[in-house]
Amino acid sequence: MQFRFPTLFFGIFLLVTACSDINSGWTVDGGGYMKLTINGDEDLDLAIDPDDGDVILRSNKHYVTFLGKNRAGDALQIMVNKPELGDNAPVTSSGYTYLVLGNSYPAHIIDIDSSYIKFDQKDSILWSADVHLIFNHCYGDECDNDRVIITGRMRYWVDPDDR
């Protein structure tokens, strides 16, 4: 059986094409996810775009932010001042830390003493944390004081251009 150069070239081309996306994704391009639970029984999966994480700390900037969102109109933004490994209190202002479920009015944190972001990694490449936040309940353009407990895991890979 004779093996021809064009056949070999075509085979290599197919292999390279099939594997071209193998390294694309969060770890290479930046961005991340939030895998959360609402009140312990409803899953909430949010994506963090590369530009929706701000983790570069400078002498005049002492905070980090993460914005996770999905196509259903859900969003969670978290801001933490002076982040460190371990428990961190989120900034409670509704302009900086808020929850939007189904395009509703943004909910704000109502129990700061029980809300925290627990970073177990934070460096020039990867930020990861356990999330436990307690918001008020908002639906449409109305809110009440019912508790919405958000728990889960967040991971964010820094965009290579920002490293």
pLDDT digits (tens, 9 = 90+) for 31-57: 999 999 999 999 999 999 999 999 988
Query: Cβ neighbours of residue 61 under 8 Å, at least 6 residues apart?
Result: none
Please give the chain's pLDDT, 163 residues, in tens: 555 655 555 555 555 544 444 444 555 678 999 999 999 999 999 999 999 999 988 888 899 999 999 999 999 999 999 999 999 999 999 899 999 999 899 999 999 999 999 999 999 899 999 999 999 999 888 999 999 999 999 999 988 776 7
77 within some domain: yes
Domain assignment present for 90: yes
pLDDT of residue 53: 94
Distance, CA of 17 to CA of 63 (rounded, Å): 41
What's the distance, CA 20 to chain centroid?
A: 25
Is residue 35 included in any domain, yes or no?
A: no
Quote the number of domains for the chain.
1
Judge contact between 143 and 136, C-beta under 8 A: yes
Task: Please report whether residue 18 resides in a domain.
Answer: no
Range of the domain at 104: 43-157
Domain-embedded: residue 117: yes
Domain assignment present for residue 1? The answer is no
Report the C-alpha gap between 87 and 151 in whole angstroms: 14
21-29: which pairs have CB atoms within 8 A and are 24 or more residues apart? 26/155, 26/157, 27/157, 28/157, 28/160, 29/157, 29/159, 29/160
Question: What is the model's pTM?
Answer: 0.81
Does 27 map to a domain? no
Any domain includes 73: yes
